[in-house]
Amino acid sequence: MKTKNIRPEFVTQFPAVFEQGVLYISEEFETAGHLCCCGCGEKVITPLNPAKWCLRKEGGTVSLSPSIGNWNYACKSHYIITKNKVVEAGQLDARKIAAIQRRDRRDMEHYVAVVAARAGQTPEKASVPIAKKEPKKSLIYEVVAFLKKLWKT
Ligand SMILES: [Zn+2]
């Protein structure tokens, strides 16, 4: 693991070029991003919402849960970011990865349905891909922003 410690940086929008060892966090768009901690150079984007990752802040440090599994990248690295430290997690076999991906999909479908119900839409209308390159234009972020407004009132 090339990056053993990660530094949180709170931003509104991600920079075009990520720096190794920095966890960019956009609370406005509820997304975090970093370069894969193995050093392969891949950008890892982690949406921060109940169906994806949870960001915990404690005394200047951040933790992300659950673990980050880069199954879609060649490195297939798997690690946990806890209190700014990167802890290598065990390699998972293909069956476990498939199970996690199924669970992620279920969580996401549930989350989208809940958000859509609150927004007065049918789930079909709200189920758009979440991993768009430009978070600002992705419907899910608009829906999340809408949901935040609901929570505030
Ligand atoms: Zn990697």
Question: pLDDT tens across 95-108, in order?
Answer: 888 888 888 888 88
More confident residue, 71 or 149: 71
The CA–CA distances, whole Å, from 117 to 34, 55, 106, 124, 137 equal: 32, 25, 16, 11, 21
Report how far ligand 1's centroid is from the alpha carbon of 42 (Å).
Answer: 6
* CB-based contacts of 98-101 (< 8 A; 24+ apart in sequence): 100/69, 101/71
Report how far ligand 1's centroid is from the alpha carbon of 131 (Å).
Answer: 18
Q: How does DSSP classify residue 137? A: G
The reported pTM is 0.69
Report how far ligand 1's centroid is from the alpha carbon of 115 (Å).
Answer: 32
Strand partners, 8: 23
User: Taking residues 75-100, what's their average pLDDT?
Assistant: 89
Report how far ligand 1's centroid is from the alpha carbon of 25 (Å).
Answer: 19
Residues with CB under 5 A from ligand 1 (ion): 36, 38, 40, 75, 77
pLDDT at 134 > cutoff 60: no
The CA–CA distances, whole Å, from 6 to 2, 23, 45, 55 equal: 11, 6, 15, 14
Tokens at 64, concatenated: 């992300």
Tokens at 54, concatenated: 């949870």
- For the chain, give every domain's residue range: 7-88, 94-152
For the chain, state the CA radius of gyration: 16
Q: How does DSSP classify residue 50? A: T
Q: How does DSSP classify residue 48? A: B
